[in-house]
Structure formats: C-alpha cells, structure tokens
Amino acid sequence: MTVPFATSARSSVGLEWELMLADGETGDLVPRAPEILHHLEERTALERYTVTGELLTNTVEVTSGIGDTVAAAVDDIADAIAAVRTVTTPLNVELLCAGSHPFAQWYDQQVTDKTRYNKLIERTQWWGRNMMIWGIHVHVGVDDVNKVFPIINALAVYLPHLQALSASSPYWAGERTGYASNRSLVFQQLPTAGLPWPLENWSEFEGYLDDLVGTGVLEDATEVRWDIRPAPRWGTIEVRACDGMSTLPELAAVAALVQVLVEHFSRELDEGRELVTLQPWFVRENKWRAARYGLDARVIVDRDGTQVPVAEHLRATLEQLGDIAVELKCARELTGIRTILDEGASYARQLLVAEAADGDLREVVRHLIREFRSGPTLREHLSALGH
C-alpha cells in the first residue's frame, strides 16, 4: 500500500480540543452536541476553525486552521469557543475540559449516530462504551517524509513529559483512581491505540498498514490511534498522548512544547545527527509512570536507564529549546510550561478542590467550568469554599 504524505509548511501548527458539555445546574454531562452543531453549521461554514461532533453526544471538538504560529492556532480555537458559547449559554450548557469527567457514568451517555462510531462500539463493546475521555491533538508540519518516523521515535522520549503536564483525569465515574491520568490507560484498550510501534521509516509504516488492512483490523490510516502518529493527509506528526487541557493557556503551552521539540529534532536530522531514542520497554514504563504519578514521576531519559524527575528534565529541556521557541514566535506560550510546573497540573488542582469540599465532586466540576472560562482560578475557588 502506497500512502502519500502531504506537503505541509515546516513546523506549522494545528490544534484539536475536545470539550465536554455539562448541565449548568448539576454539572453532569448532557447529550446536546447534535443540537448545538445544527445551530452552528451555517454560521461557521466559512471560518478558519471548525466545530464538530465526536464519539459521544456529550462532546464537541473545536479545531484550528493551519497556523504559522501557536498563537495563530490558539486564536482560531478561542474564536471557535466564542461561537459555541453563543449557542450553549442560552441553553444553560457549560463547557469544560479534562481527561475525564469526575462523576459521570458511561451507561448514561449516548453514542453519536454515525456509521464509523457504531462500528467502533459494535467491535469494542464495553471498552468502547467506556471511552468517556477527552484529549487534545497537536499537529506539527514536517517537511520531509523521511523525517517522520525518526521524529516520532524521538518524541516518544518526551511522551511522559507531555502526559504529565496535561494529566487531568484523577477521577473516573465518581471514584478517585490514584492515577494522575486514568484516561491514558483507558484509551489504550482500543485496537491500534496506545504507544506507536518503533518503526524506522515510511516504508515500514506502509507495510504495517498493509498487514492490518489486509486482516480487517483497519480500513485506512485514520484508524491508527497511536499516542503519536503520522497524519498523512495533512503532512504532519500528530501528538495525541495528552489528556484534555483544562485551560486555553495550558493548551497553548503544550502546543508550543510540541512545536519546538519537532523543530529541534528536524534540525538535528538536517545536521546529520542521530536522534536519541529509548528501548520500547523504557517507553512503556515511562508512560505508566506519568499516568500514575503525573509531575511527580521519575522518568528514564536515555538508553543507559538514567532516571530523573520529569519536572527537572522539563526545566532543562526548556532551557535547551529557548532559542528555537523565540525563532518560532512561541516563547510566550512556552513559558506556560513553567507555570504548570510551579502551580501544578489540572489533576493536582482537582484533588485539592475535592479535598477542600470534603470529597464533593460537583465542586470539582464547578472548578473545571470556572477554569475553562477564565483560566486557572484554583486560589479563588478554594477561597469560595471557605478554605
């Protein structure tokens, strides 16, 4: 199978953000996406952004146009959210984002009536119905198909960093899981989801697709659901490892980190240097550690098995990539990574709110709604609770 890799502008950025729809009174999920999308269809038809449905009717996804910079893509996302609010606010539907909803139950959710989703649920059954998960996808343009898999394999070293920064699913169906990112472990239960296979080149990827299409596992490349995957249609590498970010500044920060990493690796390849990769068993262990411990994880950073705190390694990485961020005009957005490291990721903020509210997860949802609307507001929320 020959799979063409589209031409794209080097290090261009595209963003996708999956958003929950919640009742303004109870905070529980509501199946209002079809109604909301119907109202938005005509008025957003000519915009750079898109607003679409997802697997479950409790979700809308906002997608940017192709941005030369992270800021341009984030502006598209902000415009899309503003458009969605023109419909959701009169309906008393609130928007929020995290890797999971703190207390919603899978059996209360409705599947979007599309053939691809119905086929997915028919095949995956209980695990498919349990996909109450929300994430972000960051696309970065790559100028040479021969760079795609070397960069994907190098990005896998930083997969736990991205997962820890975005971790926002400590609760699942009303229970505290003990994981910072329960979503990442749930999602990998789907066929073809999870860590990317350590392929060396595009030809091996075409062979992989041949094997799985030929055995009926896949219909095409869009059904490859790896944490980091090639997106042939767009000419990008797509990072899908992250939980849903709870605020727009955090989305921008993670997008900037992905962009500068991809550009850094691309430059290394241009100079003829070999990229650092890890043994697959180290990559797997790192993913689990980030899911379990979030920003408190210790991660393996080289083939010798050197282990360092993920937060410490992130700070060193920011120093290393600072000049590239300036060149790509995303230095301001990238500083948001330091803010997350200093103030805590969403999972930690949710746990603090729940503790302050004596375990009332409705308060966690209210906190997420407020954060999504106006940025991190943990201090104000805890103050309102009287703590």
> For the chain, which residues make up each domain, given as ranges?
13-384
Burial class (CB in 10 A: 0-12, 13-18, 19+), 165: buried
Maximum Cα–Cα distance across the chain: 62
Q: What is the dihedral of CA 122, 127, 133, 135, to 10 degrees?
A: -80
- Rama region for 15: left / alpha / beta (φ>0; ψ in -120 to 50; rest): beta
The amino acid occupying position 303 is R
CB 129 within 8 A of CB 10: no
Cβ burial of 4 (10 Å; 0-12, 13-18, 19+) is: exposed
Q: Would you say domain 13-384 falls under CATH 3.30.590.20?
A: yes
Q: Contact 96/34 with Cβ under 8 angstroms?
A: no
Q: How many residues does the chain have?
A: 387
What does the alpha-carbon distance between residue 100 and residue 98 come to, in Å, rounded to a whole number?
5
| Residue 81: per-residue pLDDT | 96
pLDDT by residue for the chain (387 residues), tens digit each? Answer: 899 999 999 999 999 999 999 999 999 999 999 999 999 998 898 899 999 999 999 999 999 999 999 999 999 999 999 999 999 999 999 999 999 999 999 999 999 999 889 888 998 999 999 999 999 999 999 999 999 999 999 999 999 999 999 999 999 999 999 999 999 999 999 989 999 999 999 999 999 999 999 999 988 888 999 999 999 999 999 999 999 999 999 999 999 999 999 999 999 999 999 999 999 999 999 999 999 999 999 999 999 999 999 999 999 999 999 999 999 999 999 999 999 999 999 999 999 999 999 999 999 999 999 999 986 554 555 565 554
Task: Find the angle CA(368)-CA(226)-CA(336) to the nearest 5 degrees.
Answer: 40
